[in-house]
Amino acid sequence: MEVFTPREQAQFSNSPGTDTPPSLGLSRSTGSSIWRSSNGDSRRRHIGGHLTCLAVIALPICGCDALLDVASSNARTNSHLIATTISPGTAYLAPGQSLQFTATVSGTSDSLVTWSVDGVTGGNSATGSISTAGVYSAPLTEPVAGEVAITATSVADSSAVANATISFREKVYSVTSFGAIGDGVADDGPAIQNALAAAAAGGGGEVSFPCGHFALKSVAGPAPSGRSLLYLSSASGVQLQGLGECSHLYTDLPQKTVLEFDHCDHVMVSNMFISALNATYVETYGMAGGSAVRFTNVNYGTITDIEVDGASAGALYLTDATSHSTLTGNYIHDTYGGGIWEDDCGSASSTSCAPSSPPTYNTYQSNILTNTSLASTTAMALDDGGSSSYAIIEGNAFSWNRSLLPGYSEAFCIQIGDASDVSVLNNSCISAPYDGIVITSDANNRSLRSVIQGNTIQSPGSSGYGGSGICIWDTSHGDGTSGFVIAQNSVSYAAESGIEIYSAGALGGAHDGKVINNTINMVDQRNRGTTFGIDIEYSSSIAIASNTISCDGTCIAAGVNLNQSADSTPSVSANTVRDILGPPLRID
């Protein structure tokens, strides 16, 4: 409906001597209004193509519904109460990255918005695209202008808009510009913390480290309980960037994490050497210390191409529902409390953490972990409290050439504890002190649908205790571990069994799994007559097929051992068993 401006409103009055209100005829094609009185007199007034009806107090009604649309009038009045806000308001992204925006509409029950990039609904390939859910995907090359505008427009009222700015021109905050010296003597913590804070306040950017030894001798950031020396919270797009091994960040303070991001998104730590050295402390107290880098509820974080030495807790630690993060190409060595940990429960134990968290979708690729977990239980652990993590652990290399600290016996390459939908693919595990790859479950339905495929495991059990290549260890006393697939792995020289599936104290705790197309060479100098190629105990509905099991004729008590199995007719078929001490199949 077209509406007059006030100065275009036509004035009407009744004909003299009559109480009959005038009627109004409309002519949009001529842009004129025709008023006809009850006596047939007519007059034409040109109104520039705009039409209206002026309500006069003397008139009981305006005889044109099209001109006085009460509903439209109310909508225009209410639209002034509708407002749209957007978060974050500013951000820094590199080409190819993505960022979730959130729009809030107030003053109406209609919360829908349309998203646009530089005025184009949905964006385009030059400036980036944005989905109907508000996920912006940057183009692979930097936009010509160096920044783009993200706009959220209320569907209920197109005048209610909110804007955010994404910058692609890299903002660099050199730690030396903030006073860091890098001589290994001065406390550079406060200067580095100030650089982090400046980058966060600026909507993101690179915090750069030149070559140097940057010592951290005090708690510089506002971390809870002083647990971290450097700390940043509620920030987006902050990236710590060094020049490689020569950019050295270190501390000798015990029980302190070097760097923590808390409730941040799109953060990165890259090309640095981080060491947390306090040998007397960590060798005495083991995993009670701190991490090199900690992500606490971080979304879309990256840790890549860094070296970590000597951390006394998980060297790289992801906790409190950290999601969509990637750890790739890192070198972690000589740590005491483990190399990489993902713990969705935070401080809660796995049995008290409810399996209700959303999937985390973290990825761990091409990391090298050597002599990690010298005083702990695992080099790499995922303990997500029973939630579906959808983690990918792929192409990592684990090895030991140092003995565990006195009093410690169990150390694994990879442990998946109460985490579901995990893919463990094409990793190398050499000389694990105990088992190579382990899935554990402490309560019902906590470890489901994981895949262990294409891994190479050599000499598990090197500590002199026990050690199987791959182990499913279900202590749920019920329905804890199911739907797993163990396929196309190579296990050699295991101290115990090549593959072991064990349910503690209850039939069927681990069930509905597949063990297929694995190669197990059990030539071993210890436990020669008491180990098995594949050992299934207190478990049910396990399909064991097309595996190859071999020895030198003096080891392996049975190729496949089914002990106290709940299966009345076990599914064992097409396995190749040769040169072993016992029978191909034994059922207790």
Collect the ranges in the chain with pLDDT lower than 50: 1-79, 279-288, 347-355, 525
Residue 522 sits in the same domain as residue 558: yes
CATH number at residue 273: 2.160.20.10
What values do phi and psi take at 276, rounded to 5? -125, 95
Determine the pLDDT at residue 509. Answer: 67
Domain count, the chain: 4
575 and 469, same structural domain? yes
**Domain harbouring 92, CATH code:** 2.60.40.10
> Based on the domain organization, do 103 and 234 belong to the same domain?
no
| Encoded tokens for 569 | 């007719």
Amino acid letter, 386? G
For 513-542, b/e burial (b = at least 16 CB within 10 A) is bbbbebbbbbbbeebbeebbbbbbbbbbbb
Sign of the alpha-carbon torsion through 330, 335, 341, 345: negative
Q: Are residues 388 and 343 in the same domain?
A: yes
Residue 135 maps to a domain: yes
Of the three residues 107, 138, 167, the one that is the final residue of a domain is 167
Tell me, yes or no, whether 332 lies in a domain.
no
The pLDDT value given to residue 254: 75
pLDDT value for 555: 79
User: Which amino acid would we find at residue 404?
Assistant: L
The β-bridge partners of 163 are 151
- Domain ends where: 167, 190, 215? 167
315 in a structural domain: yes
Give the pairing of strands 576-578 and 548-550.
Answer: parallel
**In angstroms, rounded to a whole number, what is the distance separating the alpha carbons of residues 229 and 181?**
17
Task: Kindly state whether residues 257 and 128 are assigned to the same domain.
Answer: no
- Short-list 178, 176, 218, 206, CA closest to 194: 178
Query: What pTM was estimated for this model as a whole?
Result: 0.73
Instruction: Provide the β-strand partners of residue 265.
Output: 236, 299
Quick one: tokens of 165? Answer: 């700015």
Boundary residue ending a domain (322, 356, 390): 322
Whole-number pLDDT of residue 9: 35
Number of neighbouring beta carbons within 10 Å of residue 148: 24
Query: What pLDDT is attached to residue 588?
Result: 74
Q: Which range of residues forms the domain containing residue 285?
A: 171-322
Residue 333: inside a domain: no
Any domain includes 367: yes
Of 514, 443, 442, the residue nearest 484 (C-alpha): 514
156 lies in a domain?
yes
Give the domain CATH number at 575: 2.160.20
Q: Say yes or no: 302 and 418 in one domain.
A: no
Q: Quick check: is 76 in a domain?
A: no
Burial class of residue 451 in the structure, from the number of CB atoms within 10 Å of its CB (0-12 exposed, 13-18 middle, 19+ buried)? middle
Question: In whole angstroms, what is the distance from residue 286 CA to residue 309 CA?
Answer: 14
Residues 422, 537: one domain?
yes
Q: Are residues 572 and 467 in the same domain?
A: yes
Residues 381 and 506 in one domain: yes
pLDDT of residue 544: 93
User: How high is the pLDDT of residue 93?
Assistant: 81
Beta-sheet strands, E only, within 64-122: 83-87, 90-92, 98-100, 102-106, 113-117, 120-121
Backbone φ, ψ for residue 39 (5° rounding): -90, 10
